[in-house]
Amino acid sequence: MLRGLLALVLFLAATAALSPAPAAADASGISATAGFDCTDSRLQLVLENRTGAQRTFTVTWPGRSGSPWTRTIAAGGNALLYWTVPAGTPYSLRTVTDGFDTTRSGTARCGLAAGTPQLNSTTLLRTSTTISGLNGPDGTYAGTVKSVRIPGMAVTGNGTILAVADARVDGSYDLGGGTNNIQIVLMRSTDGGLTWQAPRVIHHAATTSEGVGDPSVLVDRATGTAYVFYTYSPRPGVSFWSAGSGSNAAGDRDSLHVQYVKSTDHGVTWSAPVELNPSVKDPSWQQLFASSGHGVQTSTGRLVQPIVYRDAAGTSHAANIYSDDHGVTWRRGSSAAGGVNESKAVERSTGAVTQNMRHNSVRSRHLATSADGGVTFGAATASAVLNDPLCNADELSYLTPAQRGANGAPVRTATALYSGNAHPSARSDLTVRLSTDDGATWPTRALIRTGTAGYSTMAVLANGQVGVLYEIGDTGGIVFARFTLDWLRTA
Protein backbone atom coordinates (compact mmCIF):
# COMPACT_ATOMS: atom_id res chain seq x y z
CA MET A 1 0.00 0.00 0.00
CA LEU A 2 1.33 3.49 -0.88
CA ARG A 3 0.57 6.76 0.87
CA GLY A 4 2.15 9.84 -0.70
CA LEU A 5 5.84 9.24 -1.19
CA LEU A 6 6.08 6.57 1.48
CA ALA A 7 6.11 2.92 0.45
CA LEU A 8 5.61 0.22 3.02
CA VAL A 9 7.21 -3.14 2.50
CA LEU A 10 7.18 -6.00 4.94
CA PHE A 11 9.59 -8.84 4.63
CA LEU A 12 9.67 -11.88 6.88
CA ALA A 13 12.83 -13.95 7.21
CA ALA A 14 12.39 -16.92 9.53
CA THR A 15 15.52 -18.92 10.18
CA ALA A 16 16.57 -22.19 11.75
CA ALA A 17 17.51 -22.27 15.44
CA LEU A 18 20.16 -19.84 16.63
CA SER A 19 22.50 -20.40 19.54
CA PRO A 20 20.60 -19.76 22.75
CA ALA A 21 22.68 -16.99 24.38
CA PRO A 22 20.34 -14.31 25.79
CA ALA A 23 20.09 -10.80 24.39
CA ALA A 24 22.02 -8.06 26.14
CA ALA A 25 18.94 -5.94 26.75
CA ASP A 26 16.43 -8.65 27.58
CA ALA A 27 17.15 -11.79 29.57
CA SER A 28 14.18 -13.52 27.94
CA GLY A 29 16.04 -13.77 24.63
CA ILE A 30 13.73 -11.37 22.80
CA SER A 31 14.99 -8.26 21.03
CA ALA A 32 13.79 -5.59 18.60
CA THR A 33 16.42 -3.34 17.01
CA ALA A 34 16.10 -0.46 14.56
CA GLY A 35 18.48 0.39 11.73
CA PHE A 36 18.62 2.47 8.55
CA ASP A 37 19.64 1.26 5.09
CA CYS A 38 21.39 4.32 3.66
CA THR A 39 21.51 2.95 0.11
CA ASP A 40 17.83 2.12 -0.33
CA SER A 41 16.46 4.60 2.26
CA ARG A 42 14.78 1.96 4.40
CA LEU A 43 13.95 2.06 8.06
CA GLN A 44 14.40 -1.48 9.37
CA LEU A 45 13.22 -3.34 12.45
CA VAL A 46 14.78 -6.70 13.31
CA LEU A 47 12.82 -8.99 15.62
CA GLU A 48 14.64 -11.89 17.27
CA ASN A 49 13.20 -14.81 19.19
CA ARG A 50 16.09 -16.66 20.82
CA THR A 51 13.79 -18.54 23.16
CA GLY A 52 12.80 -22.17 22.92
CA ALA A 53 9.18 -21.48 22.01
CA GLN A 54 7.28 -19.84 19.18
CA ARG A 55 6.36 -16.19 19.86
CA THR A 56 3.87 -13.78 18.28
CA PHE A 57 5.06 -10.16 17.94
CA THR A 58 2.89 -7.09 17.41
CA VAL A 59 4.54 -3.96 16.03
CA THR A 60 2.68 -0.63 16.18
CA TRP A 61 3.61 2.65 14.44
CA PRO A 62 0.91 5.17 15.46
CA GLY A 63 -0.62 6.92 12.48
CA ARG A 64 1.13 4.70 9.96
CA SER A 65 -0.95 2.96 7.28
CA GLY A 66 -1.14 -0.78 7.91
CA SER A 67 -0.26 -0.54 11.61
CA PRO A 68 -0.25 -2.74 13.62
CA TRP A 69 1.65 -5.67 12.09
CA THR A 70 1.69 -9.13 13.63
CA ARG A 71 4.40 -11.71 13.01
CA THR A 72 4.72 -15.20 14.50
CA ILE A 73 8.35 -16.25 14.77
CA ALA A 74 9.55 -19.78 15.44
CA ALA A 75 11.85 -20.60 18.33
CA GLY A 76 15.35 -19.42 17.45
CA GLY A 77 14.08 -17.40 14.48
CA ASN A 78 13.93 -13.79 13.41
CA ALA A 79 12.01 -11.44 11.16
CA LEU A 80 12.85 -8.24 9.30
CA LEU A 81 10.28 -5.50 8.78
CA TYR A 82 11.20 -2.48 6.69
CA TRP A 83 9.61 0.70 5.42
CA THR A 84 10.89 2.74 2.48
CA VAL A 85 10.89 6.32 3.78
CA PRO A 86 12.69 9.58 2.98
CA ALA A 87 15.57 10.54 5.26
CA GLY A 88 14.23 12.75 8.04
CA THR A 89 11.05 10.73 8.63
CA PRO A 90 10.14 10.52 12.35
CA TYR A 91 9.24 7.05 13.58
CA SER A 92 7.96 5.31 16.68
CA LEU A 93 7.92 1.51 16.66
CA ARG A 94 6.44 -0.30 19.66
CA THR A 95 7.10 -4.05 19.78
CA VAL A 96 5.12 -6.28 22.14
CA THR A 97 5.16 -10.00 22.85
CA ASP A 98 4.69 -12.03 26.02
CA GLY A 99 6.95 -10.51 28.68
CA PHE A 100 8.49 -7.97 26.27
CA ASP A 101 7.43 -4.40 25.47
CA THR A 102 9.82 -1.86 23.96
CA THR A 103 9.60 1.24 21.77
CA ARG A 104 12.24 2.38 19.28
CA SER A 105 11.70 5.97 18.19
CA GLY A 106 13.62 8.79 16.52
CA THR A 107 14.32 10.16 13.05
CA ALA A 108 15.20 7.85 10.16
CA ARG A 109 18.41 9.00 8.53
CA CYS A 110 22.01 8.02 7.88
CA GLY A 111 24.65 8.90 10.47
CA LEU A 112 24.68 7.77 14.08
CA ALA A 113 23.71 11.05 15.73
CA ALA A 114 21.52 10.95 18.82
CA GLY A 115 17.91 10.27 18.00
CA THR A 116 18.64 8.27 14.83
CA PRO A 117 18.84 4.49 14.31
CA GLN A 118 22.19 3.46 15.75
CA LEU A 119 22.83 0.90 13.02
CA ASN A 120 23.49 2.06 9.44
CA SER A 121 24.21 -0.02 6.35
CA THR A 122 25.53 1.07 2.96
CA THR A 123 25.95 -1.18 -0.08
CA LEU A 124 29.39 -0.36 -1.48
CA LEU A 125 29.57 -2.80 -4.36
CA ARG A 126 27.11 -4.75 -6.46
CA THR A 127 27.45 -6.67 -9.71
CA SER A 128 25.74 -3.66 -11.31
CA THR A 129 28.30 -1.22 -9.87
CA THR A 130 30.76 0.34 -12.33
CA ILE A 131 34.36 -0.29 -11.27
CA SER A 132 37.16 1.78 -12.77
CA GLY A 133 40.60 0.39 -13.65
CA LEU A 134 39.54 -3.15 -14.55
CA ASN A 135 42.11 -4.93 -16.68
CA GLY A 136 40.91 -6.33 -20.01
CA PRO A 137 42.47 -7.69 -23.21
CA ASP A 138 42.59 -4.16 -24.64
CA GLY A 139 43.84 -2.41 -21.51
CA THR A 140 42.04 -0.91 -18.51
CA TYR A 141 38.39 0.04 -18.62
CA ALA A 142 35.40 0.91 -16.43
CA GLY A 143 32.74 -1.79 -16.20
CA THR A 144 30.85 -4.32 -14.12
CA VAL A 145 31.76 -7.85 -12.98
CA LYS A 146 29.84 -11.09 -12.52
CA SER A 147 30.61 -11.58 -8.82
CA VAL A 148 31.85 -9.52 -5.84
CA ARG A 149 33.15 -11.37 -2.81
CA ILE A 150 35.76 -11.61 -0.02
CA PRO A 151 35.71 -8.38 2.03
CA GLY A 152 38.79 -6.95 3.73
CA MET A 153 39.04 -3.77 5.80
CA ALA A 154 41.17 -1.63 8.10
CA VAL A 155 41.40 2.01 9.21
CA THR A 156 44.55 4.07 8.69
CA GLY A 157 46.07 6.48 11.21
CA ASN A 158 44.11 9.50 9.95
CA GLY A 159 40.79 7.64 10.11
CA THR A 160 40.53 6.67 6.44
CA ILE A 161 38.61 3.41 5.96
CA LEU A 162 40.10 1.07 3.35
CA ALA A 163 37.58 -1.56 2.19
CA VAL A 164 38.70 -4.10 -0.40
CA ALA A 165 37.13 -7.08 -2.15
CA ASP A 166 37.45 -9.51 -5.03
CA ALA A 167 36.12 -8.24 -8.38
CA ARG A 168 35.42 -11.61 -9.99
CA VAL A 169 35.10 -10.53 -13.60
CA ASP A 170 33.76 -13.64 -15.35
CA GLY A 171 32.07 -15.68 -12.61
CA SER A 172 31.87 -16.57 -8.94
CA TYR A 173 34.70 -19.12 -8.93
CA ASP A 174 37.67 -18.91 -6.54
CA LEU A 175 41.24 -18.32 -7.64
CA GLY A 176 42.29 -20.90 -10.21
CA GLY A 177 38.74 -21.59 -11.37
CA GLY A 178 37.09 -20.59 -14.63
CA THR A 179 39.07 -17.96 -16.52
CA ASN A 180 40.90 -17.01 -13.29
CA ASN A 181 40.14 -13.34 -13.97
CA ILE A 182 39.92 -11.88 -10.45
CA GLN A 183 41.10 -8.37 -9.53
CA ILE A 184 41.26 -6.37 -6.28
CA VAL A 185 38.89 -3.42 -5.89
CA LEU A 186 39.13 -0.65 -3.26
CA MET A 187 36.37 1.47 -1.72
CA ARG A 188 37.67 4.35 0.43
CA SER A 189 36.01 6.64 2.98
CA THR A 190 37.55 9.69 4.66
CA ASP A 191 34.52 10.62 6.82
CA GLY A 192 34.01 7.55 8.95
CA GLY A 193 31.90 5.63 6.45
CA LEU A 194 29.26 8.29 5.79
CA THR A 195 30.34 8.69 2.15
CA TRP A 196 32.55 6.58 -0.09
CA GLN A 197 34.73 7.16 -3.13
CA ALA A 198 33.82 5.23 -6.27
CA PRO A 199 35.26 1.69 -6.40
CA ARG A 200 38.50 1.27 -8.34
CA VAL A 201 40.93 -1.54 -9.00
CA ILE A 202 44.16 -1.10 -7.04
CA HIS A 203 45.83 -4.26 -8.32
CA HIS A 204 45.39 -6.65 -11.20
CA ALA A 205 47.72 -9.19 -12.77
CA ALA A 206 49.40 -8.63 -16.11
CA THR A 207 46.90 -10.74 -18.04
CA THR A 208 43.28 -11.74 -17.58
CA SER A 209 44.23 -15.40 -17.15
CA GLU A 210 46.17 -14.55 -13.98
CA GLY A 211 44.15 -13.91 -10.83
CA VAL A 212 44.68 -11.90 -7.62
CA GLY A 213 42.26 -12.15 -4.73
CA ASP A 214 41.48 -12.96 -1.07
CA PRO A 215 42.59 -9.47 0.08
CA SER A 216 43.56 -8.65 3.66
CA VAL A 217 44.41 -5.18 4.98
CA LEU A 218 47.08 -4.60 7.65
CA VAL A 219 48.11 -1.18 8.95
CA ASP A 220 51.44 -0.54 10.69
CA ARG A 221 50.43 2.00 13.33
CA ALA A 222 54.03 3.08 13.94
CA THR A 223 54.90 3.93 10.32
CA GLY A 224 51.45 4.55 8.86
CA THR A 225 52.00 2.06 6.03
CA ALA A 226 48.93 0.13 4.87
CA TYR A 227 49.44 -3.30 3.31
CA VAL A 228 46.97 -5.24 1.21
CA PHE A 229 48.02 -8.89 1.20
CA TYR A 230 46.50 -11.11 -1.47
CA THR A 231 46.93 -14.42 -3.26
CA TYR A 232 48.20 -14.66 -6.82
CA SER A 233 47.26 -17.54 -9.14
CA PRO A 234 49.51 -17.62 -12.23
CA ARG A 235 47.11 -19.52 -14.50
CA PRO A 236 43.70 -21.26 -14.59
CA GLY A 237 43.72 -24.53 -12.67
CA VAL A 238 46.16 -23.38 -9.98
CA SER A 239 43.97 -23.26 -6.87
CA PHE A 240 44.38 -24.05 -3.19
CA TRP A 241 43.11 -27.59 -3.64
CA SER A 242 45.08 -28.32 -6.82
CA ALA A 243 48.32 -30.29 -6.79
CA GLY A 244 51.32 -28.20 -5.75
CA SER A 245 54.82 -28.12 -7.15
CA GLY A 246 56.54 -28.13 -3.79
CA SER A 247 58.58 -25.10 -4.82
CA ASN A 248 58.90 -21.71 -3.16
CA ALA A 249 60.38 -20.05 -6.24
CA ALA A 250 59.11 -16.58 -7.12
CA GLY A 251 58.38 -17.68 -10.69
CA ASP A 252 56.67 -20.99 -9.90
CA ARG A 253 53.64 -21.25 -12.22
CA ASP A 254 52.26 -24.33 -10.45
CA SER A 255 51.82 -22.65 -7.08
CA LEU A 256 49.70 -19.96 -5.52
CA HIS A 257 51.75 -17.03 -4.23
CA VAL A 258 51.33 -14.68 -1.27
CA GLN A 259 52.08 -11.10 -2.30
CA TYR A 260 51.25 -7.58 -1.16
CA VAL A 261 50.93 -4.01 -2.35
CA LYS A 262 51.37 -1.12 0.10
CA SER A 263 50.36 2.51 0.49
CA THR A 264 52.03 5.28 2.46
CA ASP A 265 49.34 7.88 1.75
CA HIS A 266 46.24 6.32 3.31
CA GLY A 267 45.28 4.36 0.20
CA VAL A 268 45.55 7.10 -2.44
CA THR A 269 48.39 5.34 -4.29
CA TRP A 270 49.73 1.81 -4.14
CA SER A 271 53.12 0.20 -4.76
CA ALA A 272 54.14 -2.46 -7.24
CA PRO A 273 53.50 -6.01 -5.95
CA VAL A 274 55.98 -7.63 -3.57
CA GLU A 275 56.47 -11.42 -3.78
CA LEU A 276 56.77 -13.35 -0.50
CA ASN A 277 56.86 -17.06 -1.41
CA PRO A 278 60.69 -17.40 -1.29
CA SER A 279 60.73 -16.21 2.33
CA VAL A 280 57.43 -17.55 3.71
CA LYS A 281 56.55 -20.75 1.82
CA ASP A 282 57.99 -24.02 3.04
CA PRO A 283 59.03 -25.90 -0.15
CA SER A 284 57.26 -29.01 1.14
CA TRP A 285 53.89 -27.25 1.23
CA GLN A 286 51.56 -28.04 -1.64
CA GLN A 287 49.77 -24.67 -1.69
CA LEU A 288 49.14 -21.57 0.44
CA PHE A 289 47.04 -18.42 0.42
CA ALA A 290 46.59 -15.22 2.40
CA SER A 291 43.62 -15.38 4.76
CA SER A 292 41.24 -12.56 3.83
CA GLY A 293 39.92 -9.75 6.01
CA HIS A 294 42.68 -8.09 8.00
CA GLY A 295 45.97 -8.72 9.73
CA VAL A 296 46.98 -7.34 13.12
CA GLN A 297 49.82 -5.43 14.75
CA THR A 298 50.64 -6.54 18.29
CA SER A 299 51.72 -4.30 21.15
CA THR A 300 55.38 -5.17 20.45
CA GLY A 301 55.06 -3.71 16.96
CA ARG A 302 55.03 -7.11 15.24
CA LEU A 303 52.97 -7.30 12.05
CA VAL A 304 50.97 -10.53 11.79
CA GLN A 305 49.14 -11.74 8.66
CA PRO A 306 47.25 -15.06 8.80
CA ILE A 307 47.74 -17.60 6.00
CA VAL A 308 46.45 -21.07 5.15
CA TYR A 309 48.67 -23.82 3.75
CA ARG A 310 48.44 -27.45 2.70
CA ASP A 311 51.24 -29.64 3.96
CA ALA A 312 52.97 -32.43 2.06
CA ALA A 313 50.14 -34.83 2.94
CA GLY A 314 47.49 -32.38 1.71
CA THR A 315 46.12 -31.35 5.13
CA SER A 316 45.21 -27.68 5.46
CA HIS A 317 46.61 -25.60 8.32
CA ALA A 318 46.21 -22.09 9.73
CA ALA A 319 49.39 -20.17 10.48
CA ASN A 320 50.81 -16.66 10.38
CA ILE A 321 53.53 -14.83 8.55
CA TYR A 322 55.07 -12.01 10.56
CA SER A 323 57.52 -9.11 10.46
CA ASP A 324 59.47 -7.52 13.30
CA ASP A 325 61.09 -4.83 11.13
CA HIS A 326 58.04 -2.95 9.86
CA GLY A 327 57.59 -5.09 6.78
CA VAL A 328 61.17 -5.17 5.50
CA THR A 329 61.37 -8.95 5.96
CA TRP A 330 58.72 -11.62 6.58
CA ARG A 331 58.92 -15.08 8.17
CA ARG A 332 56.52 -17.98 8.55
CA GLY A 333 55.25 -19.33 11.85
CA SER A 334 54.19 -22.83 12.80
CA SER A 335 50.80 -24.45 12.41
CA ALA A 336 48.08 -23.25 14.76
CA ALA A 337 45.95 -26.31 13.91
CA GLY A 338 45.31 -28.84 11.16
CA GLY A 339 42.04 -29.43 9.33
CA VAL A 340 41.26 -25.71 9.52
CA ASN A 341 41.06 -22.86 7.05
CA GLU A 342 40.85 -19.05 7.22
CA SER A 343 41.59 -17.42 10.56
CA LYS A 344 42.15 -14.17 12.45
CA ALA A 345 44.83 -13.40 15.02
CA VAL A 346 43.97 -11.26 18.06
CA GLU A 347 46.21 -10.12 20.92
CA ARG A 348 44.83 -10.56 24.43
CA SER A 349 45.38 -8.21 27.37
CA THR A 350 48.02 -10.65 28.62
CA GLY A 351 50.09 -10.35 25.42
CA ALA A 352 49.11 -13.84 24.27
CA VAL A 353 47.87 -14.17 20.67
CA THR A 354 44.77 -16.23 19.96
CA GLN A 355 44.10 -17.67 16.52
CA ASN A 356 40.35 -17.79 15.81
CA MET A 357 39.90 -20.36 13.02
CA ARG A 358 37.32 -21.74 10.62
CA HIS A 359 37.26 -25.54 10.66
CA ASN A 360 36.85 -27.59 7.49
CA SER A 361 34.15 -29.87 8.91
CA VAL A 362 33.32 -29.08 12.56
CA ARG A 363 30.74 -26.32 12.90
CA SER A 364 32.45 -24.45 15.73
CA ARG A 365 35.21 -21.87 15.73
CA HIS A 366 38.53 -23.36 16.81
CA LEU A 367 40.89 -21.43 19.06
CA ALA A 368 44.61 -21.85 19.69
CA THR A 369 46.85 -19.70 21.89
CA SER A 370 50.41 -18.51 21.29
CA ALA A 371 52.78 -17.23 23.98
CA ASP A 372 55.33 -15.96 21.44
CA GLY A 373 53.36 -13.50 19.38
CA GLY A 374 51.61 -15.83 16.97
CA VAL A 375 54.58 -17.98 15.92
CA THR A 376 53.96 -21.25 17.78
CA PHE A 377 50.73 -22.49 19.38
CA GLY A 378 49.30 -24.83 21.95
CA ALA A 379 46.55 -27.30 21.13
CA ALA A 380 43.43 -25.96 19.42
CA THR A 381 40.01 -26.40 21.01
CA ALA A 382 36.48 -25.94 19.69
CA SER A 383 34.55 -22.97 21.05
CA ALA A 384 31.44 -23.87 23.04
CA VAL A 385 29.83 -20.52 22.11
CA LEU A 386 31.01 -19.45 18.67
CA ASN A 387 29.35 -21.73 16.13
CA ASP A 388 30.45 -21.59 12.51
CA PRO A 389 28.75 -22.88 9.34
CA LEU A 390 32.18 -23.30 7.66
CA CYS A 391 32.59 -19.61 6.83
CA ASN A 392 35.29 -17.00 7.29
CA ALA A 393 34.50 -14.80 10.31
CA ASP A 394 36.35 -12.20 12.36
CA GLU A 395 37.62 -11.39 15.82
CA LEU A 396 39.48 -8.20 16.70
CA SER A 397 40.42 -6.07 19.69
CA TYR A 398 38.31 -3.01 20.38
CA LEU A 399 40.98 -0.32 19.87
CA THR A 400 40.79 2.90 17.90
CA PRO A 401 43.71 3.85 15.61
CA ALA A 402 44.83 6.43 18.19
CA GLN A 403 45.17 3.94 21.06
CA ARG A 404 48.89 3.37 20.74
CA GLY A 405 51.81 2.89 23.08
CA ALA A 406 55.15 4.69 23.23
CA ASN A 407 56.46 2.50 20.39
CA GLY A 408 53.60 3.57 18.14
CA ALA A 409 51.99 0.11 18.20
CA PRO A 410 48.51 -0.67 19.53
CA VAL A 411 48.05 -1.08 23.27
CA ARG A 412 46.44 -4.17 24.77
CA THR A 413 42.82 -4.60 25.79
CA ALA A 414 40.55 -7.33 27.13
CA THR A 415 37.64 -6.06 25.03
CA ALA A 416 37.07 -7.93 21.78
CA LEU A 417 34.45 -8.13 19.04
CA TYR A 418 33.40 -11.12 16.96
CA SER A 419 31.38 -11.18 13.74
CA GLY A 420 30.03 -14.38 12.24
CA ASN A 421 26.93 -16.34 11.32
CA ALA A 422 24.54 -17.13 14.14
CA HIS A 423 22.88 -19.84 12.06
CA PRO A 424 24.47 -23.19 12.93
CA SER A 425 24.56 -24.61 9.42
CA ALA A 426 24.01 -21.84 6.86
CA ARG A 427 25.78 -18.64 5.87
CA SER A 428 23.04 -16.40 7.21
CA ASP A 429 22.05 -14.21 10.16
CA LEU A 430 25.25 -12.19 10.55
CA THR A 431 25.72 -11.45 14.25
CA VAL A 432 28.22 -9.34 16.20
CA ARG A 433 29.23 -10.29 19.73
CA LEU A 434 31.11 -8.42 22.46
CA SER A 435 33.50 -9.80 25.09
CA THR A 436 35.15 -7.83 27.89
CA ASP A 437 37.17 -10.74 29.30
CA ASP A 438 39.59 -11.66 26.50
CA GLY A 439 37.07 -13.81 24.68
CA ALA A 440 36.32 -16.09 27.64
CA THR A 441 32.62 -15.20 27.40
CA TRP A 442 30.46 -13.49 24.78
CA PRO A 443 27.29 -12.39 26.62
CA THR A 444 26.40 -9.43 24.39
CA ARG A 445 25.18 -9.93 20.82
CA ALA A 446 23.12 -8.28 18.09
CA LEU A 447 21.91 -9.32 14.67
CA ILE A 448 23.41 -7.15 11.90
CA ARG A 449 21.67 -8.80 8.94
CA THR A 450 18.92 -11.37 8.65
CA GLY A 451 19.10 -13.88 5.81
CA THR A 452 22.07 -14.53 3.55
CA ALA A 453 25.42 -13.13 4.69
CA GLY A 454 28.80 -14.80 4.19
CA TYR A 455 32.35 -13.64 4.90
CA SER A 456 32.65 -10.64 7.25
CA THR A 457 35.39 -8.47 8.67
CA MET A 458 35.44 -5.59 11.14
CA ALA A 459 37.34 -2.41 12.02
CA VAL A 460 37.16 0.08 14.89
CA LEU A 461 36.71 3.56 13.43
CA ALA A 462 38.54 6.68 14.58
CA ASN A 463 35.50 7.89 16.55
CA GLY A 464 35.05 4.57 18.37
CA GLN A 465 32.21 3.32 16.21
CA VAL A 466 32.50 -0.18 14.76
CA GLY A 467 32.40 -1.00 11.06
CA VAL A 468 31.45 -4.41 9.65
CA LEU A 469 32.08 -5.23 6.00
CA TYR A 470 30.28 -8.32 4.72
CA GLU A 471 29.27 -10.14 1.56
CA ILE A 472 25.80 -11.30 0.50
CA GLY A 473 26.45 -14.52 -1.40
CA ASP A 474 28.29 -14.45 -4.73
CA THR A 475 26.25 -11.70 -6.35
CA GLY A 476 24.31 -9.91 -3.60
CA GLY A 477 26.92 -7.27 -2.91
CA ILE A 478 29.48 -5.98 -0.41
CA VAL A 479 27.85 -4.04 2.46
CA PHE A 480 29.35 -1.75 5.11
CA ALA A 481 27.47 -1.48 8.40
CA ARG A 482 28.41 0.64 11.38
CA PHE A 483 27.15 0.94 14.93
CA THR A 484 28.14 2.13 18.38
CA LEU A 485 29.04 -0.05 21.35
CA ASP A 486 26.08 1.44 23.21
CA TRP A 487 23.78 0.16 20.46
CA LEU A 488 25.32 -3.29 20.72
CA ARG A 489 24.96 -3.37 24.49
CA THR A 490 21.28 -2.41 24.35
CA ALA A 491 20.25 -4.24 21.16
pLDDT in tens, 197-217: 999 999 999 999 999 999 999
pLDDT at 3: 34
Confidence grade of residue 25 (pLDDT, cut at 50, 70, 90):
very low
**Average pLDDT of the segment spanning 262-272:** 98
pLDDT at 23: 33
**Residues 145/213, Cβ–Cβ less than 8 Å:** no
**Average pLDDT of the segment spanning 12-20:** 34
Euclidean distance between CA atoms 485 and 439, whole angstroms: 16
Q: Dump pLDDT digits (tens) for 270-303.
A: 999 999 999 999 999 999 999 999 999 999 999 9
pLDDT at 14: 36
SS (H, E, C) the chain: CEECCEEEEEECCCCCCCCCCCCCCCCCCEEEEEEEECCCCEEEEEEEECCCCCEEEEEECCCCCCCCEEEEECCCEEEEEEEECCCCEEEEEEEEECCEEEEEEEEECCCCCCCCCCEEEEEEECCCCCEEEEEECCEEEEECCCEEEEEEEEECCCCCEEEEEEEECCCCCCCCCCCCCEEEEEEEECCCCCCCCCCEEEECCCCCCCEEEEEEEEECCCCCCEEEEEEEECCCCCCCCCCCCCCCCCCCCCCCEEEEEEECCCCCCCCCCEECHHHHCCCCCCEEEECCEECEECCCCCEEEEEEEECCCCCEEEEEEEECCCCCCCEECCCCEECEEEEEEEECCCCCEEEEEEECCCCEEEEEEECCCCCCCCCCEEEEEEECCCCCCEEEECCCCCCECCCCCECCCCCEEEEEECCCCCCEEEEEEEECCCCCCCCEEEEEEEEECCCEEEEECCCCCEEEEEECCCCCCEEEEEECHHHHHHC
pLDDT at 6: 33
pLDDT at 27: 52
pLDDT at 21: 32
- Give the residue numbers annotated as catalytic, written as ranges: 174, 342, 455
- Single-letter amino acid code for the residue at 364: S
**Residues 142/130, Cβ–Cβ less than 8 Å:** yes
Q: Dump pLDDT digits (tens) for 81-128.
A: 999 999 999 999 999 999 999 999 999 999 999 999 999 999 999 999
Confidence grade of residue 28 (pLDDT, cut at 50, 70, 90):
confident
Task: Name the average pLDDT for the chain.
Answer: 94
Confidence grade of residue 330 (pLDDT, cut at 50, 70, 90):
very high
% pLDDT > 90, the chain? 93
Total-model pTM: 0.94
**Residue 377, class by beta-carbon neighbours within 10 Å (0-12 exposed, 13-18 middle, 19+ buried)?**
buried
Residue 26 has pLDDT above 80, yes or no: no
